[in-house]
Amino acid sequence: MKSFLAVGIGGFFGAISRYSLSLIWASSGGFPYTTLCINLVGCFCLAWLFTTFTKRTPIILGIGTGFFGAFTTYSTFSLETLLLLENSEWLQAVLYVSVSVLGGLACAWLGMRLARGRKTCFL
């Protein structure tokens, strides 16, 4: 029960943080920079957290699954991609998807690497 409560509290703060950042740093020019940056930071932080703290205590679950799960957003990424396509912004849509996926993997890899303190995380 503690884990559920921790994830819920973390999720509340993660969602509020994401929403606040979208108000403070609104994307302009059609390209969704805000969501991209939020998702890349979330990939890095979640990978670092779960690599550093392998025991999934309620606090770690609250921060990782709760906060970062609500802070990052696949649904907004998907909608923004469809809106770019709908507006015939094909190049921006491909760039957004590519940077989101490859950048997310690179950020997660970097987070794992820093948490492990090694040159590679593939060992």
Question: What is the tally of structural domains in the chain?
Answer: 1
Dihedral sign of CA atoms 123, 56, 63, 97 in order: positive
Residue 122 lies in a domain: no
Q: Answer yes or no: is pLDDT of 107 > 80.
A: yes
Q: Is 28 a member of any domain?
A: yes
Kindly state whether residue 121 falls inside one of the protein's structural domains. no
Q: Per the domain annotation, does 62 fall within a domain?
A: yes
Domain housing 10: 2-116
Domain assignment present for 95: yes
Predicted pLDDT of residue 113: 96
Provide the CA 98 distance to its chain's centre, in angstroms.
15
- The DSSP letter of residue 119 is S
Digit-coded pLDDT (tens) for 92-106: 999 999 999 999 999
The pLDDT confidence band at residue 26, using thresholds 50, 70 and 90, is confident
Residue 76 lies in a domain: yes
Neighbours of 22 (CB within 10 A): 16
Residue 123 maps to a domain: no
Question: pLDDT tens, 35-91?
Answer: 999 999 999 999 999 999 999 999 999 999 999 999 999 999 999 999 999 999 999
- pLDDT at residue number 62: 97
Phi and psi at residue 121, to the nearest 5°: -115, 15
